Structure 1
Amino acid sequence: MTDRERIRLLNPGPVTLTESVRRAMLGPDLCHREPAFADLMADVRARLASVYETDGMEAVLITGSGTSAVEAMVGTLVPADRPVLVCANGVYGERIDKMLRLQGKQPIL
């Protein structure tokens, strides 16, 4: 194993990949307009619904950065009529505060 292979990335991104993920990425490209892609997405959504026992609700896959995921989460889970505490010790917490304010929510920083 080389020094490069032993490196563990602990920053927000990019991440350290496992060998199984690296091998999976060596396969052929899959166009998002192909039926095989739609089949794969349907399978992933069904598996997520099964794992999280969504009881008839749909799992929706959203592409984007980690910031996109956080914005979707706070937009969905944080009620507009109640304050929410945001612990900010840097840019990420400050970004969440800004997201909430832009959504008309009540963050307490």
Structure 2
Amino acid sequence: GEGGDDEGEDESIGELCVRGPQVFGKYWGKPDATSEAFDDDGFFRTGDTVQLSGSPPSWKIVGRTSVDIIKYSGYKISALDIENKLLQHPSIRECAVVGIADEVRGQLVG
């Protein structure tokens, strides 16, 4: 995966994609939207970013793929995770974490 910790626990982050008879097959009258929403194997890209971790493994939704993930020097950082940590501080009632464009690192956490 794209991470891990000192205990050897796998922590993979990626986009949740689903496929099966219960998943719709196309957008009505919108072939371009359909081709963007489905991969070559017929999986629907939900736009949700998930993290697989723990023992037994479980999935946790950590944000939206295009919005809540900050890409810093090859790492995928969940803005939602940082916000949740900040909100644990008694002096912080609201916060927002965003990616700031950076030519060298891709994005900085701001």
Shorter-chain TM band: under 0.3
- Give the TM-score normalised by structure 2: 0.24
- Return the index of the structure with the highest Cα Rg: 1
More strand per residue: 2
Whose helix fraction is larger, Structure 1's or Structure 2's?
1
Larger RCO: Structure 1 or Structure 2 (Cα < 8 Å, ≥ 6 residues apart)? 2
